[in-house]
Amino acid sequence: MASKLSCSSFTKFLILIGLSALFSLSLADVVPPPSPTTPVSTSTICKSTPYYSFCKSVLPNNNSSANVRDYGQFSIRKSLSSARKFLSLIEKYLRHSSNLTITAIRALEDCRLLAELNMDFLQSSCKTVNSTTTNLPTFDTDNVQTLLSAILTNTQTCLDGVQVTASAWSLQNGLYAPLSNDTKLYSVSLALFTKGWVPKKKKLPSHPTQKQLAFRNGRLPLKMSGRNQAIYETVSRRKLLQTNEDQILVSDIVIVSQKGWGNFTTVNDAVAAAPNNTNGTNGYFLIYITAGLYQEYVSINKNKKYLMMIGDGINRTVITGDHNFVDGWTTFNSSTFAVVGQGFVAVNITFRNTAGAIKHQAVAVRNGADLSTFYSCSFEGYQDTLYTHSLRQFYRECDIYGTVDFIFGNAAAVFQNCNMYPRLPLSNQFNAITAQGRTDPNQNTGTSIQNCTITAADDLATSNITIQTYLGRPWKEYSRTVYMQSFMDSLINPLGWHEWSGDFALNTSYYAEFNNTGPGSNTSGRVTWPAFYIINSMNATNFTVSSFLLGDAWLPQTGVPYTPGLI
Protein backbone atom coordinates (compact mmCIF):
# COMPACT_ATOMS: atom_id res chain seq x y z
CA MET A 1 0.00 0.00 0.00
CA ALA A 2 1.29 3.44 -0.88
CA SER A 3 2.22 5.64 2.04
CA LYS A 4 -0.01 8.55 2.95
CA LEU A 5 0.59 11.69 0.96
CA SER A 6 2.25 14.43 2.96
CA CYS A 7 0.16 17.05 1.27
CA SER A 8 -2.81 18.24 3.34
CA SER A 9 -6.21 16.66 2.65
CA PHE A 10 -8.71 17.99 0.19
CA THR A 11 -11.78 17.71 2.38
CA LYS A 12 -13.24 20.96 1.15
CA PHE A 13 -12.64 19.98 -2.45
CA LEU A 14 -14.32 16.60 -1.98
CA ILE A 15 -17.34 18.24 -0.37
CA LEU A 16 -17.65 20.49 -3.39
CA ILE A 17 -17.63 17.43 -5.63
CA GLY A 18 -20.45 15.96 -3.55
CA LEU A 19 -22.57 19.03 -4.25
CA SER A 20 -22.27 18.57 -8.00
CA ALA A 21 -25.84 17.27 -8.29
CA LEU A 22 -27.15 20.59 -6.97
CA PHE A 23 -25.20 22.90 -9.21
CA SER A 24 -24.49 23.02 -12.91
CA LEU A 25 -22.44 25.89 -14.32
CA SER A 26 -20.40 26.15 -17.49
CA LEU A 27 -18.31 29.18 -18.37
CA ALA A 28 -17.04 27.88 -21.69
CA ASP A 29 -18.31 30.89 -23.58
CA VAL A 30 -17.50 33.59 -21.04
CA VAL A 31 -15.06 36.29 -22.10
CA PRO A 32 -12.85 37.48 -20.46
CA PRO A 33 -11.55 34.32 -18.70
CA PRO A 34 -12.89 33.69 -15.19
CA SER A 35 -11.04 34.90 -12.14
CA PRO A 36 -9.20 32.31 -10.01
CA THR A 37 -12.10 32.15 -7.55
CA THR A 38 -14.93 31.89 -10.08
CA PRO A 39 -16.51 28.44 -10.49
CA VAL A 40 -15.57 26.91 -13.83
CA SER A 41 -16.15 23.63 -15.62
CA THR A 42 -13.36 21.22 -16.52
CA SER A 43 -14.28 21.68 -20.18
CA THR A 44 -13.47 25.36 -19.91
CA ILE A 45 -10.43 25.25 -17.66
CA CYS A 46 -8.76 22.43 -19.59
CA LYS A 47 -8.70 24.68 -22.65
CA SER A 48 -5.99 26.68 -20.88
CA THR A 49 -3.69 23.64 -20.70
CA PRO A 50 -1.53 22.12 -23.47
CA TYR A 51 -3.29 18.74 -23.12
CA TYR A 52 -7.04 19.31 -23.23
CA SER A 53 -8.21 15.68 -23.51
CA PHE A 54 -5.76 14.43 -20.91
CA CYS A 55 -6.74 17.26 -18.57
CA LYS A 56 -10.42 16.34 -18.95
CA SER A 57 -9.63 12.72 -18.14
CA VAL A 58 -7.69 13.64 -14.99
CA LEU A 59 -9.83 16.32 -13.34
CA PRO A 60 -13.18 15.52 -11.68
CA ASN A 61 -15.85 16.52 -14.19
CA ASN A 62 -18.91 16.45 -11.98
CA ASN A 63 -18.18 19.44 -9.80
CA SER A 64 -19.86 22.68 -10.73
CA SER A 65 -18.51 24.69 -7.80
CA ALA A 66 -14.78 24.19 -8.20
CA ASN A 67 -12.54 27.00 -9.43
CA VAL A 68 -9.14 26.92 -11.10
CA ARG A 69 -7.34 26.89 -7.76
CA ASP A 70 -9.31 23.87 -6.60
CA TYR A 71 -8.39 22.07 -9.79
CA GLY A 72 -4.76 23.17 -9.45
CA GLN A 73 -4.54 21.79 -5.92
CA PHE A 74 -6.07 18.51 -7.04
CA SER A 75 -3.71 18.22 -10.01
CA ILE A 76 -0.59 18.93 -7.97
CA ARG A 77 -1.64 16.33 -5.42
CA LYS A 78 -2.21 13.79 -8.19
CA SER A 79 1.21 14.70 -9.63
CA LEU A 80 2.80 13.91 -6.28
CA SER A 81 1.17 10.48 -6.26
CA SER A 82 2.38 9.79 -9.81
CA ALA A 83 5.91 10.91 -8.98
CA ARG A 84 6.00 8.47 -6.08
CA LYS A 85 4.85 5.60 -8.31
CA PHE A 86 7.45 6.41 -10.94
CA LEU A 87 10.26 6.49 -8.38
CA SER A 88 9.17 3.03 -7.19
CA LEU A 89 9.24 1.80 -10.79
CA ILE A 90 12.79 3.08 -11.32
CA GLU A 91 13.98 1.44 -8.11
CA LYS A 92 12.40 -1.82 -9.24
CA TYR A 93 14.33 -1.74 -12.53
CA LEU A 94 17.58 -0.94 -10.71
CA ARG A 95 17.09 -3.92 -8.39
CA HIS A 96 16.93 -6.15 -11.47
CA SER A 97 19.65 -4.49 -13.51
CA SER A 98 22.10 -7.39 -13.86
CA ASN A 99 21.32 -7.81 -17.55
CA LEU A 100 21.52 -4.11 -18.40
CA THR A 101 24.42 -2.27 -19.99
CA ILE A 102 26.39 0.18 -17.86
CA THR A 103 24.99 3.03 -19.96
CA ALA A 104 21.44 1.86 -19.28
CA ILE A 105 22.13 1.62 -15.55
CA ARG A 106 23.54 5.14 -15.56
CA ALA A 107 20.42 6.40 -17.33
CA LEU A 108 18.26 4.73 -14.69
CA GLU A 109 20.36 6.27 -11.92
CA ASP A 110 19.82 9.68 -13.52
CA CYS A 111 16.08 9.00 -13.53
CA ARG A 112 16.15 8.01 -9.86
CA LEU A 113 17.92 11.22 -8.85
CA LEU A 114 15.52 13.31 -10.93
CA ALA A 115 12.46 11.47 -9.59
CA GLU A 116 13.62 12.09 -6.01
CA LEU A 117 13.95 15.78 -6.79
CA ASN A 118 10.47 15.79 -8.31
CA MET A 119 9.08 14.34 -5.09
CA ASP A 120 10.70 17.14 -3.10
CA PHE A 121 9.51 19.85 -5.50
CA LEU A 122 5.93 18.57 -5.55
CA GLN A 123 5.74 18.23 -1.78
CA SER A 124 6.94 21.83 -1.43
CA SER A 125 4.51 23.05 -4.10
CA CYS A 126 1.62 21.15 -2.54
CA LYS A 127 2.34 22.68 0.85
CA THR A 128 2.45 26.20 -0.58
CA VAL A 129 -0.74 26.06 -2.65
CA ASN A 130 -2.69 24.61 0.29
CA SER A 131 -1.41 27.19 2.76
CA THR A 132 -3.92 29.86 1.76
CA THR A 133 -7.04 30.45 -0.32
CA THR A 134 -5.91 33.98 -1.18
CA ASN A 135 -3.16 35.26 -3.47
CA LEU A 136 0.39 34.15 -2.73
CA PRO A 137 3.29 36.56 -2.17
CA THR A 138 5.23 37.23 -5.37
CA PHE A 139 8.31 35.21 -4.42
CA ASP A 140 6.21 32.25 -3.25
CA THR A 141 4.36 32.29 -6.57
CA ASP A 142 7.66 32.38 -8.45
CA ASN A 143 9.00 29.54 -6.29
CA VAL A 144 6.11 27.23 -7.15
CA GLN A 145 6.15 28.08 -10.84
CA THR A 146 9.91 27.46 -10.81
CA LEU A 147 9.54 24.08 -9.09
CA LEU A 148 6.71 22.95 -11.36
CA SER A 149 8.78 24.04 -14.36
CA ALA A 150 11.71 22.01 -13.02
CA ILE A 151 9.74 18.78 -12.60
CA LEU A 152 8.92 18.93 -16.31
CA THR A 153 12.61 19.47 -17.06
CA ASN A 154 13.59 16.55 -14.82
CA THR A 155 11.06 14.26 -16.48
CA GLN A 156 12.23 15.28 -19.95
CA THR A 157 15.86 14.67 -18.95
CA CYS A 158 14.98 11.16 -17.79
CA LEU A 159 13.07 10.55 -21.02
CA ASP A 160 16.00 11.78 -23.13
CA GLY A 161 18.36 9.39 -21.35
CA VAL A 162 15.98 6.48 -21.76
CA GLN A 163 15.50 7.15 -25.47
CA VAL A 164 19.23 7.39 -26.18
CA THR A 165 19.95 4.04 -24.53
CA ALA A 166 16.74 2.27 -25.56
CA SER A 167 18.40 0.45 -28.47
CA ALA A 168 20.65 -1.37 -25.99
CA TRP A 169 17.99 -2.56 -23.59
CA SER A 170 14.32 -3.44 -23.30
CA LEU A 171 13.14 -0.75 -20.88
CA GLN A 172 11.60 1.66 -23.35
CA ASN A 173 8.16 0.04 -23.29
CA GLY A 174 8.19 -0.07 -19.52
CA LEU A 175 9.21 3.54 -18.95
CA TYR A 176 8.03 5.49 -21.96
CA ALA A 177 4.30 5.32 -21.16
CA PRO A 178 4.56 6.48 -17.51
CA LEU A 179 7.04 9.19 -18.52
CA SER A 180 4.70 10.41 -21.22
CA ASN A 181 1.67 10.42 -18.93
CA ASP A 182 3.61 12.11 -16.12
CA THR A 183 4.76 14.80 -18.52
CA LYS A 184 1.16 15.55 -19.45
CA LEU A 185 0.03 15.57 -15.83
CA TYR A 186 2.87 17.89 -14.75
CA SER A 187 2.11 20.18 -17.68
CA VAL A 188 -1.54 20.36 -16.63
CA SER A 189 -0.51 21.15 -13.04
CA LEU A 190 1.81 23.92 -14.21
CA ALA A 191 -0.84 25.38 -16.50
CA LEU A 192 -3.50 25.38 -13.77
CA PHE A 193 -1.10 26.94 -11.27
CA THR A 194 -0.13 29.60 -13.80
CA LYS A 195 -3.78 30.30 -14.52
CA GLY A 196 -4.81 30.37 -10.88
CA TRP A 197 -1.92 32.07 -9.11
CA VAL A 198 0.56 33.76 -11.45
CA PRO A 199 -0.37 37.39 -12.19
CA LYS A 200 -0.05 38.74 -15.71
CA LYS A 201 2.52 41.20 -14.45
CA LYS A 202 4.84 40.43 -11.55
CA LYS A 203 4.91 42.81 -8.63
CA LEU A 204 8.65 43.05 -8.14
CA PRO A 205 10.45 43.66 -4.85
CA SER A 206 12.04 47.09 -4.64
CA HIS A 207 15.57 47.38 -5.97
CA PRO A 208 18.32 47.12 -3.37
CA THR A 209 20.31 50.24 -2.65
CA GLN A 210 23.78 50.70 -4.07
CA LYS A 211 25.03 50.13 -0.54
CA GLN A 212 23.53 46.65 -0.56
CA LEU A 213 25.25 45.97 -3.86
CA ALA A 214 28.62 47.14 -2.56
CA PHE A 215 31.63 44.99 -3.44
CA ARG A 216 34.99 45.91 -2.05
CA ASN A 217 38.29 45.75 -3.89
CA GLY A 218 37.08 42.91 -6.12
CA ARG A 219 36.55 40.61 -3.14
CA LEU A 220 33.53 39.22 -1.39
CA PRO A 221 33.03 41.11 1.90
CA LEU A 222 32.97 38.02 4.10
CA LYS A 223 32.00 38.16 7.75
CA MET A 224 33.54 35.36 9.80
CA SER A 225 34.41 34.59 13.36
CA GLY A 226 37.85 35.81 14.38
CA ARG A 227 39.30 32.29 14.11
CA ASN A 228 37.85 31.63 10.66
CA GLN A 229 38.91 34.98 9.31
CA ALA A 230 42.45 34.52 10.61
CA ILE A 231 42.65 31.11 8.92
CA TYR A 232 41.31 32.43 5.65
CA GLU A 233 43.58 35.46 5.55
CA THR A 234 46.64 33.41 6.49
CA VAL A 235 46.12 30.81 3.77
CA SER A 236 44.81 33.13 1.07
CA ARG A 237 47.10 36.05 1.86
CA ARG A 238 44.11 38.34 1.54
CA LYS A 239 43.25 41.08 3.96
CA LEU A 240 39.51 41.59 3.80
CA LEU A 241 38.96 45.25 4.54
CA GLN A 242 35.48 45.31 6.03
CA THR A 243 33.15 47.37 8.13
CA ASN A 244 30.28 45.92 10.07
CA GLU A 245 27.89 46.48 7.19
CA ASP A 246 27.15 44.76 3.88
CA GLN A 247 28.96 41.57 4.80
CA ILE A 248 28.28 38.02 3.72
CA LEU A 249 27.83 35.81 6.73
CA VAL A 250 30.03 32.71 6.94
CA SER A 251 29.18 30.05 9.52
CA ASP A 252 32.36 28.00 9.15
CA ILE A 253 35.34 27.51 6.87
CA VAL A 254 37.42 24.58 5.69
CA ILE A 255 40.54 24.74 3.55
CA VAL A 256 41.33 22.41 0.65
CA SER A 257 45.00 22.15 -0.22
CA GLN A 258 46.84 19.49 -2.19
CA LYS A 259 49.98 20.40 -0.27
CA GLY A 260 48.51 19.27 3.03
CA TRP A 261 48.30 22.61 4.84
CA GLY A 262 44.49 22.69 4.96
CA ASN A 263 41.72 20.56 6.40
CA PHE A 264 41.36 18.38 3.29
CA THR A 265 43.28 17.48 0.16
CA THR A 266 40.20 16.90 -2.05
CA VAL A 267 37.13 18.99 -2.81
CA ASN A 268 34.81 16.02 -2.28
CA ASP A 269 36.04 15.49 1.28
CA ALA A 270 35.36 19.14 2.06
CA VAL A 271 31.83 18.89 0.62
CA ALA A 272 31.17 15.80 2.72
CA ALA A 273 32.12 17.74 5.84
CA ALA A 274 29.51 20.44 5.20
CA PRO A 275 26.40 20.34 7.39
CA ASN A 276 23.18 19.00 5.90
CA ASN A 277 19.99 20.91 5.10
CA THR A 278 20.96 24.32 6.43
CA ASN A 279 18.66 27.22 5.53
CA GLY A 280 21.35 29.87 5.12
CA THR A 281 20.26 32.04 8.03
CA ASN A 282 23.49 31.27 9.90
CA GLY A 283 25.61 31.97 6.85
CA TYR A 284 27.45 30.01 4.20
CA PHE A 285 29.67 27.02 4.81
CA LEU A 286 32.80 28.26 3.05
CA ILE A 287 35.14 25.89 1.24
CA TYR A 288 38.32 27.69 0.28
CA ILE A 289 40.16 25.76 -2.45
CA THR A 290 43.80 26.75 -2.81
CA ALA A 291 45.56 26.79 -6.17
CA GLY A 292 45.98 23.40 -7.78
CA LEU A 293 44.69 20.97 -10.40
CA TYR A 294 41.96 18.89 -8.76
CA GLN A 295 41.26 15.82 -10.88
CA GLU A 296 38.02 14.66 -9.34
CA TYR A 297 34.29 14.49 -10.03
CA VAL A 298 32.41 16.66 -7.56
CA SER A 299 28.71 16.31 -6.81
CA ILE A 300 26.94 18.67 -4.41
CA ASN A 301 23.75 16.88 -3.47
CA LYS A 302 20.38 18.35 -2.54
CA ASN A 303 21.09 18.19 1.21
CA LYS A 304 24.24 20.33 0.90
CA LYS A 305 22.65 23.77 0.86
CA TYR A 306 24.24 27.22 0.99
CA LEU A 307 27.78 26.16 0.24
CA MET A 308 30.21 28.80 -0.96
CA MET A 309 33.37 27.76 -2.80
CA ILE A 310 36.16 30.27 -3.34
CA GLY A 311 39.26 29.45 -5.33
CA ASP A 312 42.51 31.30 -5.96
CA GLY A 313 41.42 32.43 -9.40
CA ILE A 314 40.65 31.30 -12.93
CA ASN A 315 43.34 28.88 -14.17
CA ARG A 316 44.81 28.69 -10.68
CA THR A 317 42.15 26.63 -8.90
CA VAL A 318 41.03 24.08 -11.49
CA ILE A 319 38.57 21.17 -11.10
CA THR A 320 38.90 18.83 -14.07
CA GLY A 321 37.63 15.55 -15.50
CA ASP A 322 37.00 13.86 -18.85
CA HIS A 323 33.73 11.89 -18.68
CA ASN A 324 31.84 11.99 -21.97
CA PHE A 325 29.07 10.44 -24.06
CA VAL A 326 31.33 8.38 -26.33
CA ASP A 327 32.78 6.53 -23.36
CA GLY A 328 29.36 5.50 -22.08
CA TRP A 329 28.25 8.34 -19.83
CA THR A 330 24.90 10.01 -20.25
CA THR A 331 25.13 13.71 -21.00
CA PHE A 332 23.57 14.34 -17.59
CA ASN A 333 26.22 12.43 -15.65
CA SER A 334 29.22 13.32 -17.82
CA SER A 335 29.79 16.47 -15.78
CA THR A 336 33.04 17.14 -13.96
CA PHE A 337 31.16 19.25 -11.42
CA ALA A 338 27.47 18.84 -10.59
CA VAL A 339 25.41 20.82 -8.10
CA VAL A 340 21.79 20.63 -6.99
CA GLY A 341 22.13 22.03 -3.44
CA GLN A 342 20.16 25.28 -3.12
CA GLY A 343 21.97 28.58 -2.63
CA PHE A 344 25.33 27.47 -4.03
CA VAL A 345 27.96 30.14 -4.75
CA ALA A 346 31.26 29.62 -6.62
CA VAL A 347 33.97 32.26 -7.04
CA ASN A 348 37.37 32.28 -8.75
CA ILE A 349 37.38 28.67 -10.01
CA THR A 350 37.94 26.98 -13.39
CA PHE A 351 35.72 23.99 -14.19
CA ARG A 352 37.02 21.86 -17.05
CA ASN A 353 36.16 18.82 -19.14
CA THR A 354 39.17 17.67 -21.17
CA ALA A 355 37.45 14.95 -23.24
CA GLY A 356 37.83 17.09 -26.35
CA ALA A 357 35.61 17.68 -29.36
CA ILE A 358 36.07 14.11 -30.61
CA LYS A 359 34.14 12.74 -27.59
CA HIS A 360 31.05 14.88 -28.33
CA GLN A 361 28.85 15.58 -25.26
CA ALA A 362 31.16 16.25 -22.33
CA VAL A 363 29.89 18.57 -19.58
CA ALA A 364 32.17 20.66 -17.39
CA VAL A 365 29.41 21.86 -15.02
CA ARG A 366 25.83 20.68 -14.60
CA ASN A 367 23.86 23.13 -12.50
CA GLY A 368 20.44 22.23 -11.12
CA ALA A 369 20.77 24.32 -7.96
CA ASP A 370 18.08 26.87 -7.26
CA LEU A 371 19.24 30.40 -6.41
CA SER A 372 22.80 29.53 -7.47
CA THR A 373 25.54 31.96 -8.45
CA PHE A 374 28.85 31.65 -10.28
CA TYR A 375 31.12 34.69 -10.15
CA SER A 376 34.47 35.09 -11.89
CA CYS A 377 34.58 31.44 -12.92
CA SER A 378 35.62 29.70 -16.14
CA PHE A 379 33.85 26.81 -17.85
CA GLU A 380 35.99 24.95 -20.39
CA GLY A 381 34.89 22.21 -22.78
CA TYR A 382 33.73 21.65 -26.33
CA GLN A 383 30.24 20.24 -26.91
CA ASP A 384 27.79 20.84 -24.03
CA THR A 385 30.24 22.64 -21.74
CA LEU A 386 27.78 24.27 -19.34
CA TYR A 387 24.52 22.46 -18.57
CA THR A 388 22.18 25.05 -17.04
CA HIS A 389 19.80 22.25 -16.22
CA SER A 390 16.99 23.78 -14.15
CA LEU A 391 15.76 26.33 -11.60
CA ARG A 392 17.14 29.89 -11.09
CA GLN A 393 20.79 30.68 -11.86
CA PHE A 394 23.03 33.74 -12.18
CA TYR A 395 26.46 34.02 -13.83
CA ARG A 396 28.59 37.15 -13.54
CA GLU A 397 31.97 37.89 -15.16
CA CYS A 398 32.47 34.29 -16.18
CA ASP A 399 34.27 32.79 -19.21
CA ILE A 400 32.54 30.01 -21.15
CA TYR A 401 34.41 28.05 -23.85
CA GLY A 402 32.89 25.54 -26.23
CA THR A 403 31.69 24.50 -29.67
CA VAL A 404 28.31 22.80 -30.16
CA ASP A 405 25.47 23.92 -27.84
CA PHE A 406 28.01 24.87 -25.23
CA ILE A 407 25.46 26.66 -23.03
CA PHE A 408 22.40 24.43 -22.87
CA GLY A 409 19.60 23.41 -20.53
CA ASN A 410 16.29 24.67 -19.20
CA ALA A 411 17.04 26.88 -16.23
CA ALA A 412 15.97 30.46 -15.79
CA ALA A 413 19.53 31.69 -16.27
CA VAL A 414 20.99 35.17 -16.62
CA PHE A 415 24.55 35.72 -17.85
CA GLN A 416 25.83 39.19 -17.09
CA ASN A 417 29.19 40.71 -18.07
CA CYS A 418 30.41 37.28 -19.20
CA ASN A 419 32.67 36.21 -22.08
CA MET A 420 31.58 33.52 -24.53
CA TYR A 421 34.45 31.97 -26.47
CA PRO A 422 33.47 29.70 -29.38
CA ARG A 423 36.28 27.23 -30.09
CA LEU A 424 37.42 25.25 -33.12
CA PRO A 425 34.98 22.32 -33.54
CA LEU A 426 35.30 19.09 -35.50
CA SER A 427 35.57 19.46 -39.27
CA ASN A 428 31.90 18.58 -39.88
CA GLN A 429 30.49 20.79 -37.13
CA PHE A 430 29.33 24.36 -36.70
CA ASN A 431 29.29 26.29 -33.43
CA ALA A 432 26.05 27.05 -31.59
CA ILE A 433 26.49 29.05 -28.41
CA THR A 434 23.13 28.15 -26.87
CA ALA A 435 20.61 25.30 -27.04
CA GLN A 436 17.81 26.19 -24.68
CA GLY A 437 15.50 23.36 -23.60
CA ARG A 438 12.10 24.83 -22.68
CA THR A 439 9.41 22.19 -23.41
CA ASP A 440 6.25 23.87 -22.14
CA PRO A 441 4.79 27.34 -22.77
CA ASN A 442 4.11 27.87 -19.05
CA GLN A 443 7.67 27.23 -17.88
CA ASN A 444 9.30 30.40 -16.55
CA THR A 445 12.65 29.38 -18.02
CA GLY A 446 15.04 30.71 -20.63
CA THR A 447 18.56 31.98 -21.22
CA SER A 448 19.21 35.72 -20.92
CA ILE A 449 22.59 37.05 -22.04
CA GLN A 450 23.19 40.67 -21.02
CA ASN A 451 26.23 42.90 -21.52
CA CYS A 452 28.36 39.94 -22.52
CA THR A 453 31.15 39.68 -25.09
CA ILE A 454 31.26 37.04 -27.83
CA THR A 455 34.66 36.59 -29.47
CA ALA A 456 36.55 33.66 -30.92
CA ALA A 457 38.77 31.55 -28.68
CA ASP A 458 42.45 31.49 -29.67
CA ASP A 459 42.25 28.18 -31.56
CA LEU A 460 39.34 29.44 -33.68
CA ALA A 461 40.77 32.94 -34.13
CA THR A 462 44.09 31.62 -35.48
CA SER A 463 42.60 28.88 -37.63
CA ASN A 464 42.50 29.16 -41.41
CA ILE A 465 39.31 27.10 -41.46
CA THR A 466 35.99 28.89 -41.92
CA ILE A 467 33.65 27.90 -39.12
CA GLN A 468 30.05 29.03 -38.91
CA THR A 469 29.06 30.27 -35.46
CA TYR A 470 25.46 30.93 -34.42
CA LEU A 471 23.84 32.48 -31.36
CA GLY A 472 21.74 29.40 -30.74
CA ARG A 473 19.33 26.76 -31.97
CA PRO A 474 16.06 25.33 -30.62
CA TRP A 475 16.78 22.14 -28.70
CA LYS A 476 13.18 21.84 -27.50
CA GLU A 477 9.82 23.08 -28.76
CA TYR A 478 9.55 26.27 -26.69
CA SER A 479 13.23 27.18 -26.60
CA ARG A 480 13.75 30.75 -25.32
CA THR A 481 16.95 32.82 -25.54
CA VAL A 482 17.54 36.57 -25.46
CA TYR A 483 20.72 38.51 -26.22
CA MET A 484 20.74 42.10 -25.07
CA GLN A 485 23.29 44.87 -24.80
CA SER A 486 26.09 42.47 -25.73
CA PHE A 487 29.08 42.71 -28.07
CA MET A 488 29.11 40.25 -30.98
CA ASP A 489 32.28 39.94 -33.01
CA SER A 490 32.41 39.17 -36.73
CA LEU A 491 32.44 35.38 -36.20
CA ILE A 492 28.62 35.40 -35.79
CA ASN A 493 26.89 34.24 -38.97
CA PRO A 494 24.60 37.01 -40.36
CA LEU A 495 21.59 34.69 -39.98
CA GLY A 496 22.25 34.70 -36.24
CA TRP A 497 20.34 31.52 -35.47
CA HIS A 498 20.36 27.95 -36.78
CA GLU A 499 17.53 25.42 -37.02
CA TRP A 500 17.66 22.17 -35.04
CA SER A 501 15.99 19.91 -37.58
CA GLY A 502 13.88 21.17 -40.45
CA ASP A 503 11.17 23.53 -39.21
CA PHE A 504 11.06 22.08 -35.67
CA ALA A 505 10.21 24.80 -33.10
CA LEU A 506 10.62 27.67 -35.57
CA ASN A 507 7.06 28.79 -34.78
CA THR A 508 6.96 28.07 -31.05
CA SER A 509 10.39 29.19 -29.78
CA TYR A 510 11.30 32.70 -28.68
CA TYR A 511 14.58 34.21 -29.88
CA ALA A 512 15.17 37.90 -29.34
CA GLU A 513 17.85 40.54 -29.63
CA PHE A 514 18.03 44.01 -28.10
CA ASN A 515 20.61 46.77 -28.52
CA ASN A 516 23.62 44.57 -29.21
CA THR A 517 26.82 45.96 -30.68
CA GLY A 518 29.76 44.78 -32.79
CA PRO A 519 30.09 43.52 -36.37
CA GLY A 520 28.10 40.36 -35.63
CA SER A 521 25.12 42.23 -34.18
CA ASN A 522 23.68 43.52 -37.47
CA THR A 523 20.14 42.13 -37.60
CA SER A 524 19.34 43.01 -41.23
CA GLY A 525 20.25 39.51 -42.41
CA ARG A 526 18.77 37.55 -39.52
CA VAL A 527 16.49 34.53 -39.90
CA THR A 528 12.87 35.25 -40.79
CA TRP A 529 11.34 32.67 -38.46
CA PRO A 530 8.12 33.54 -36.63
CA ALA A 531 10.09 32.73 -33.47
CA PHE A 532 12.63 35.55 -33.98
CA TYR A 533 12.08 39.06 -32.63
CA ILE A 534 13.83 42.41 -32.43
CA ILE A 535 12.51 43.65 -29.10
CA ASN A 536 12.25 47.04 -27.41
CA SER A 537 13.38 48.05 -23.93
CA MET A 538 10.01 47.24 -22.38
CA ASN A 539 10.20 43.63 -23.54
CA ALA A 540 13.90 43.38 -22.77
CA THR A 541 13.23 44.38 -19.16
CA ASN A 542 11.35 41.10 -18.70
CA PHE A 543 14.67 39.26 -19.04
CA THR A 544 16.71 41.29 -16.56
CA VAL A 545 17.91 40.04 -13.18
CA SER A 546 15.14 41.77 -11.26
CA SER A 547 12.29 40.60 -13.48
CA PHE A 548 13.41 37.21 -14.78
CA LEU A 549 15.07 35.88 -11.61
CA LEU A 550 13.50 38.12 -8.96
CA GLY A 551 17.17 38.50 -8.13
CA ASP A 552 16.73 41.44 -5.76
CA ALA A 553 15.17 39.00 -3.29
CA TRP A 554 18.19 36.68 -3.07
CA LEU A 555 21.31 37.91 -4.87
CA PRO A 556 22.37 40.62 -2.35
CA GLN A 557 23.08 37.97 0.30
CA THR A 558 25.65 36.35 -2.01
CA GLY A 559 27.76 39.51 -2.17
CA VAL A 560 28.12 39.09 -5.93
CA PRO A 561 27.70 42.33 -7.89
CA TYR A 562 24.87 42.57 -10.40
CA THR A 563 22.87 45.05 -12.42
CA PRO A 564 19.16 44.75 -11.57
CA GLY A 565 17.78 46.13 -14.84
CA LEU A 566 18.94 47.28 -18.24
CA ILE A 567 22.28 49.01 -18.49
Cβ proximity of 41 and 60 under 8 Å: no
Between β-strands 386-388 and 365-367, what pairing exists: parallel, antiparallel or unpaired?
parallel
Cα separations in angstroms, 142 against 112, 116, 410, 435, 462? 26, 21, 16, 24, 45
What's the CA gap between 510 and 342, in Å, rounded? 28
pLDDT in tens, 1-31: 433 344 544 333 333 333 333 333 333 333 4
Element (H, E) at 350: strand 350-353
pLDDT in tens, 441-457: 999 999 999 999 999 99
What's the CA gap between 460 and 273, in Å, rounded? 42
Pick the closest to residue 48 from 442, 437, 531 (CA basis).
Answer: 442
Question: Catalytic annotation on 552?
Answer: no
- pTM greater than the 0.75 cutoff: yes
Cβ proximity of 70 and 15 under 8 Å: no
- Classified as helix, coil or strand, 357 is helix
Q: What end-to-end distance do the CA atoms of the chain give, in Å? A: 57
Which one of the listed residues 142, 405, 440, 552 is annotated catalytic?
Answer: 405
What's the CA gap between 513 and 454, in Å, rounded? 14
Cβ proximity of 315 and 280 under 8 Å: no
What's the CA gap between 380 and 414, in Å, rounded? 19
- Whole-number CA gyration radius for the chain: 24
Ramachandran class of 21: left when φ > 0, alpha when ψ lies in -120 to 50, beta otherwise: alpha
Q: Following DSSP, what letter does each residue of 20-77 receive, concatenated?
A: TTT-----TT-SSPPPTTS---HHHHGGGSS-HHHHHHHS-SS-SS--HHHHHHHHHH
Pick the closest to residue 387 from 334, 326, 343 (CA basis).
Answer: 334
What's the CA gap between 311 and 255, in Å, rounded? 10
pLDDT tens track, the chain, 567 positions: 433 344 544 333 333 333 333 333 333 333 455 578 788 999 999 999 999 999 999 999 877 789 999 999 999 999 999 999 999 999 999 998 888 888 889 999 999 999 999 999 999 999 999 887 678 999 999 999 999 999 999 999 999 998 887 554 566 668 888 999 999 999 999 999 999 999 877 666 554 443 344 444 445 666 655 666 665 665 555 544 333 345 778 889 999 999 888 899 999 999 999 999 998 888 899 999 999 999 999 999 999 999 999 999 999 999 999 999 999 999 999 999 999 999 999 999 999 999 999 999 999 999 999 999 999 999 999 999 999 999 999 999 999 999 999 999 999 999 999 999 999 999 999 999 999 999 999 999 999 999 999 999 999 999 989 999 999 999 999 999 999 999 999 999 999 999 999 999 999 999 999 999 999 999 999 999 999 999 999 999 999 999 999 999 999 999 899 999 999
